[in-house]
Amino acid sequence: MAKNSNLHAAKAAKNDEFYTQLTDIEKEMAHYREHFRGKVIFCNCDDPTWSNFWRYFHLNFGFLGLKKLIATHYNPEAPTYKLEYEGGDDYNIEAGVRTDLMQNGDFRSDECIELLKECDIVVTNPPFSLFREYVAQLVECEKKFIIIGNINAITYKEFFPLLKNNEVWMGMSIHSGDREFRVPDYYDTRSPSFRQDEYGNKYVRVVGVRWYTNLDHPKRHEPLTLFRRYADEPERFPKYDNYDAINVDKTVDIPCDYDGVMGVPISFLDKYCPEQFEIVSFRKGDDGKDLVFTREREREFNRTFESLFDGVDGSDYGCEADDLQRRKESVCSRSDTTADMKFFAEYICARPELVKIALAERERESRDVLRQCNEPAERTCQRLQNQWSQDICASAYQTTLNLFFRASTALPGVIKNAEGKIHGKPTYARILIRRRR
């Protein structure tokens, strides 16, 4: 059992081996020079043989005015060592005092915790798979840090309160896109983002990388310039069904004249200024479920659809009244019931007034549909019937949905909840904020 455990640990360690590029480190560290002077820097997830964190601080030891540099790294199969440097030979990155450890260099080991207590600032790329535990340890030890991680860390229930309470914030240099990391030779080369340079070094690109820190920097105090006005176009900002707040698709679209609560993408934190905004909460509505909204036009059209069938009994469809009601509710909730959508399709196509209503709704978005609406109802109906005769078996749900139900499409910069939907409506992850007065 112990042997299998070691194998699993080794596999997990290998999956977390991502070596940050020196250029990315340089761009971020340049903003914290005043914080480094006279301090002990600890890189506790860094093999000095490979680590560009060790390389950067060693080469710039005198320039930054450091007091001491320490590095440790993890080896699941054997004890490792610590390397300490206190100056004198900055350009020889192998210079330093090596001391063997009794344990394997895990940041949670007693030896590494003692070194953590000794240091002033931790700077490293921790294992993404252990990010929650890693940050919790730093907070418990009340350490300053600059670490790299994934933007999805914002959604962790253990980590978001630190952002909300201004105990942690985003770094300076990475605010979008992906970053390339060097990986060990044994890395799986089947990844689509994999490349190999002319020297045989392997690299992969990782999406959504961010720096996180609790060292202050000037950018986090720069207020956003807001130009949109809620009063001019309230339809742009639909209200959530389960929370008294409006939805804002993009950070740049935050209205300057709205004093209530707003739901914004998690990427808002890249431009968050604590003097300008207050973070209220994350993700959940009053019902404890993910924030969700139905566009007002969608609500109105669903009501219209339901009213079209008021007074219609099951005999018109050749079924029992209870079954008809179930099918109506299924369609109006837009649950994935292809058979029920197909059930209504023939009747809908045969009713010119229904087709006209559907096309009129679509006319607002397409001039082509406007021309269709000017056709005689019978001709429009026949054309749609011909189209549906080909499409309905393959995609009855989507065809009817597109005409009769304008679904709330995926919003930019959001993470879909694992639950998928609430009462048939898509759910979203949003940060709830309000402007400070």
pLDDT digits (tens, 9 = 90+) for 83-125: 999 999 999 999 999 999 999 999 999 999 999 999 999 999 9
Domain identity same for 361 and 256: no
Beta carbons of 254 and 224 less than 8 angstroms apart: yes
- The total domain count for the chain is 3
Does a structural domain hold residue 254?
Answer: yes
Domain identity same for 21 and 126: yes
**Helix crossing, 377-404 with 352-363: angle to 10°?**
60
The residue out of 217, 246, 271 marking a domain boundary is 217
The residue out of 217, 249, 270 marking a domain boundary is 217
Per-residue pLDDT, averaged over 4-26, amounts to: 64
Q: Quick: pLDDT tens for 50-69.
A: 899 999 999 999 999 999 99
Bridge partners of 106, per DSSP, are none
Does a structural domain hold residue 225?
Answer: no
Residues in the chain: 437
Burial class (CB in 10 A: 0-12, 13-18, 19+), 284: middle
Domain identity same for 359 and 416: no
Domain identity same for 14 and 101: yes
Confidence of residue 22 (pLDDT cuts 50, 70, 90): very high
User: 238: which DSSP letter?
Assistant: P
- Kindly report the CATH number assigned to the domain that includes residue 203: 3.40.50
Range of the domain at 268: 234-293+412-435
DSSP string covering 327-365, please?
A: HHHHHHTT-S-HHHHHHHHHHHHT-HHHHHHHHHHHHTT
Query: Is the pLDDT assigned to residue 406 strictly greater than 60?
Result: no
Domain identity same for 416 and 392: no
Domain identity same for 354 and 208: no
Does a structural domain hold residue 229?
Answer: no
Does a structural domain hold residue 380?
Answer: yes
Residue with tokens 């390397």: 83
Largest CA distance in the chain: 93
Domain identity same for 146 and 36: yes
Rg of the Cα atoms in the chain = 29
Bridge partners of 341, per DSSP, are none
Domain identity same for 315 and 418: no
Domain identity same for 73 and 208: yes
Q: What pTM value is reported for the model?
A: 0.70
Task: Tell me the CA distances in angstroms from 264 to 33, 430, 435, one per residue in order.
Answer: 33, 5, 12
